[in-house]
Amino acid sequence: MAFEQKAGEQRPAGILPDRAQPHDPEVEKAVLAAMLREPESCVDTVIMFLHDADVFYSHIHREIYQVIRELHDDNAKAVDLVTISHELQAKGKLDAVGGNAYLAELYNAISTTVNIEAWCNILKKYAILRRMIDVCSGALGKCYDSGADAASLVEEIENDIYKVRGEEAANNIVELKDIIKDEFQSLMSLLEDNVEAGISTGYAAIDKMTGGLKPGEMFVLAARPSIGKTSLALNVIANVALKKYTPRPRKVAFFSLEMTSSQITRRLLCSEAGIPESVFWNKTFNHADLTKFTSAAAEFYNASIFIDETAGLSIAELRAKARRLKMKENIELIVIDYLQLMHADGRVDSRQQEVAEISGGIKALAKDLKIPVLVLAQLNREVDKTAGAGAKPKLANLRESGSIEQDADVVTFLHRNREDAKTVAQDGSVEALWIVEKNRNGQIGEVRMNFFPSRTRFEVASPRSEEDCPN
């Protein structure tokens, strides 16, 4: 986009067309020289570190690097001064890069290739800085478009910046011996209870099977409507975020596509206080309730729980908001209620394809941010149709897509007889099962729970026998 600069008007900061972008021509020469001197070892190293020719600032060096890559990819051709010169000549670019004289100059630019990896890292750093300049300059240009949608533009710019961060943080291939010591120590620390495998859900029986909510993992909690999956998710959030339940309170982001922030807050307060929300509507609230309610409010006042109540959240919006919260607040857990209420970013051919895109996006988000994502999901009606209300759900009952099963590291089901809650006494409980049906890194099984509908609270039931205890 071109800008007309009027008299007395300052050019937007960051748009500096006359200033060279960050680069180092001597380092670029050194990298190419290493490829020319020792192609057997250095060409693969450079390709692994730098990938594309755009990492080079000089168009001359980009042309030479591209030819070296093409020769290297063609196993029938050697990589040396003669073949490189021949290929450049065939492309009509030999004179444009300085001819054979410049190729000879490159060859003699270094005396050793021992620092090839360090040189590659320098070029990579400058390339990332140039990418950031391009992104920021492009963002300024887009901001001057008066017809642009501000919210969409902010999201687009955030995604562009995050892509640059991803390029900077991208890991190369590592050798096992370089990380085995650290991983050995990590496993020993787990054995000695010095660190947690994951964030505790607050339900020890579930944690024993799953290891808790582990970084980078997608943990699915699925159920039919009105079974209590949101209540259980809020119980987990309280267990994770309140100091009384954990040695170190965690920061949690809750994306609620179904309930408002006010509804969620009331649910959390009443559940923690152990009083039904109905006591406020029917005026049976008493002094004892006030003490418990005040204590619960004080607990949550000091907790770090961030609620987003955006309905119809897209995977791109989720990604942008979660990244912002991770950078700004260093959140340690994301909870989404629930997956099927989200929508994909672009047009898709079917609902199954859309859910697959959403599921894959959530898993990628967990890996990118290196934190666990607890995502709630709906089950289809087949579980009721085939065997009635008492039928236990299976993986095939996940609604609208098998991709959820494939992407998730842990898939759990909450199961109970919905009719039981209709006849339960005040502050009474009904039996429920928390079923671990898929566990990529652990065991599967069932945990018996008691659900207290009046205060939306789940508690692990007392074991009836050794069979009820997870191994």
pLDDT digits 0-9 by tens, 185-239: 767 776 666 556 688 888 888 988 888 899 999 999 988 888 889 999 999 999 9
Please write the tens of the pLDDT for every residue from 342-401.
887 666 677 888 888 888 889 988 988 899 999 998 887 766 665 555 678 888 777 666
Residue 321 counted as domain residue = yes
* Residues 396 and 252 placed together within one structural domain of the fold: yes
d(CA 421, CA 424): 5
Tell whether 435 is covered by a domain. Answer: yes
The answer to whether residues 372 and 244 belong to one domain is: yes
pLDDT value for 4:
42
* Token pair 């001064």 in the structure block, residue: 81
What does the block give as tokens for 371?
């934190």
Instruction: Let me know whether 201 and 326 are in one domain.
Output: yes
- Specify whether 382 is catalytic: no
Tell me if 187 is assigned to some domain. Answer: no
Contact 326, 371 (CB under 8 A): yes
Interatomic CA distance for residues 198 and 371, integer angstroms:
9
**One domain for residues 127 and 216:** no
CB 322 within 8 A of CB 253: yes
Check whether residue 218 and residue 165 sit in a common domain: no
Residue 185 is assigned to a structural domain of this protein = no
User: What's the pLDDT score for residue 255?
Assistant: 93
* Catalytic choice (105, 183, 258, 329): 258
User: Residues 323, 271: one domain?
Assistant: yes
Per-residue pLDDT reduced to its tens digit, 236-295: 999 998 877 777 889 999 998 888 888 888 888 888 888 888 777 777 777 777 888 888
- Where a domain ends, among 117, 152, 169? 169
Residue 426 and residue 370 in one domain: yes
Q: Name the token pair of 128.
A: 């990332």
pLDDT above 60 (res 61): yes
Residue 14 forms part of a structural domain: no
Mean pLDDT of the chain: 80
Quick one: average pLDDT of 301-322?
Answer: 85
Answer with the one of 154, 169, 184 that is the final residue of a domain: 169
> Does residue 470 surpass a pLDDT of 60?
no
When pLDDT is averaged across residues 40-69 and rounded to a whole number, the result is: 85
pLDDT digits (tens, 9 = 90+) for 109-135: 888 888 888 898 898 888 888 888 888
β-strand partners of 412 = 221, 436
Identify the pLDDT of residue 422: 65
Taken in order 225, 228, 229, 230, the sign of the CA dihedral is: positive
**In this structure, are 132 and 279 located in the same domain?**
no
Peptide bond connecting 203 to the previous residue in cis, omega within 30 degrees of 0: no
137: CATH: 1.10.860.10
In a domain, 61, yes or no: yes
Count of domains for the chain:
2
Write out the residue range of the structural domain in which residue 52 sits: 25-169
Which residue is listed with tokens 């192609």? 39
pTM above 0.75, yes or no: no
| 292 and 367 both lie in a single domain | yes
Q: Are residues 334 and 421 in the same domain?
A: yes
Q: What is the CATH number of the domain that holds 203?
A: 3.40.50.300
**Residue 318 has what pLDDT?**
85
Specify the pLDDT at position 323.
Answer: 83
The Cα angle at residue 276 between residues 255 and 453, in degrees rounded to 5 = 70
Instruction: Confirm whether 17 is domain-assigned.
Output: no
Same domain, 272 and 347: yes
Mean pLDDT within 67-72: 84
In this structure, the answer to whether residues 367 and 419 fall within a common structural domain is yes
In a domain, 288, yes or no: yes
Task: Give percent of the chain with pLDDT exceeding 90.
Answer: 10
The pLDDT of residue 111 is 85
- Among 151, 169, 187, the domain-final residue is 169
